């Protein structure tokens, strides 16, 4: 469950949105579309506990503090943050894992062919901020990390923006499969990526309206 109560957010003295309210039931899949710069990504970061609202209240799975909210969600941002560690460590983030689970995840995230081509495979060090990776590779690692965390709530910000059509379609299919029964908020400017979602909202002029 995610609930926004009269949430406002200001950035550098500019109001991004005011008194925004939204209720997302457990297991519901919600899409949010809108033009670039309309505040979609900002809204997602608020739901993830990465930003703090200027006013109002955000409740995610029963918690309100940003540091607690972030524990409850898996997030895939348009420009993912990767760490100067191996591919495997970026996926597992230091948690214990089973080889079979990792193999299934890298297959689902469409990473297997690329990883198999690397001399060190999953142990390949990807460097500071993953500068040597393509945008698509970085996004797929972030998707694999979200799959590994397996939270009840998944927040997606243009998760396939750096992928070509064929790769995007296969990754979206994997996302739809592993999010069955989960609560999903998917921000995109491509409404076609939201087929089968329970509700779709348009963000425009700082407001959400169901379409």
CATH no. for residue 193? 3.40.50.300
Higher pLDDT, 70 or 163: 70
Mean pLDDT of 123-146: 79
For residue 73, pLDDT over 70 is answered with yes
Find the domain containing 72 and state its range: 2-210
How big is the CA angle at 197 (ends 19 and 7), to the nearest 5 degrees? 10
Instruction: Return the pLDDT at 144.
Output: 92
d(CA 47, CA 20): 12
Q: How many domains does the chain have?
A: 1
Find where tokens 């008194």 sit: 19
Centroid of chain to Cα 63: 19
Closest CA to 147 of 118, 112, 171: 171
Residues near 119 by beta carbon (within 8 Å), at least 6 away in sequence:
none
Instruction: Return the pLDDT at 131.
Output: 56
Give the torsion through C-alpha atoms of 19, 25, 27, 32, to 10 deg.
-30
- Centre a 10 Å sphere on the Cβ of residue 189 and count the other Cβ atoms it contains: 14
For residue 89, pLDDT over 80 is answered with yes
pTM: 0.86
- For the stretch 25-70, pLDDT in tens is 999 999 999 988 888 999 999 999 999 999 999 999 999 999 999 9
Burial label for 62, CB within 10 Å (0-12, 13-18, 19+), is exposed
Instruction: Return the pLDDT at 63.
Output: 96
Instruction: Return the pLDDT at 129.
Output: 46
Answer for the pair 24, 194: CB distance below 8 angstroms, yes or no: no
Mean pLDDT of 190-203: 92
E-only strand ranges, 125-188? 153-157, 183-187
Higher pLDDT, 159 or 184: 184
d(CA 21, CA 8): 9
For residue 135, pLDDT over 50 is answered with yes
Closest CA to 41 of 185, 183, 187: 187
For residue 156, pLDDT over 90 is answered with yes
């Amino acid at each position: 469950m995610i609930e926004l109560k009269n949430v406002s957010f200001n950035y550098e003295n500019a109001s991004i949105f005011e008194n925004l309210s939204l209720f997302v039931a457990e297991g519901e899949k919600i899409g949010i579309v809108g033009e670039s710069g309309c505040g979609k990504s900002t809204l997602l970061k608020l739901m993830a506990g990465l930003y703090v609202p200027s006013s109002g209240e955000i409740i995610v799975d029963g918690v309100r503090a940003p540091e607690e909210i972030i524990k409850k969600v898996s997030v895939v941002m348009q420009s993912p943050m990767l760490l100067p560690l191996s591919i495997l460590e970026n996926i597992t983030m230091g948690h214990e894992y089973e080889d079979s689970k990792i193999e299934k995840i890298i297959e689902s995230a469409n990473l297997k062919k690329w990883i198999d081509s690397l001399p060190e495979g999953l142990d390949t060090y990807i460097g500071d901020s993953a500068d040597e990776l393509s945008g698509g590779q970085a996004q797929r690692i972030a998707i694999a990390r979200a799959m590994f965390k397996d939270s009840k709530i998944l927040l997606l910000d243009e998760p396939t923006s750096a992928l070509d059509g064929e790769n995007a379609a296969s990754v979206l299919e994997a996302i739809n499969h592993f999010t069955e029964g989960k609560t999903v908020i998917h921000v995109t400017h491509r409404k076609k990526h939201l087929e089968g979602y329970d509700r779709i909202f348009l963000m425009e002029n700082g407001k959400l309206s169901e379409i």
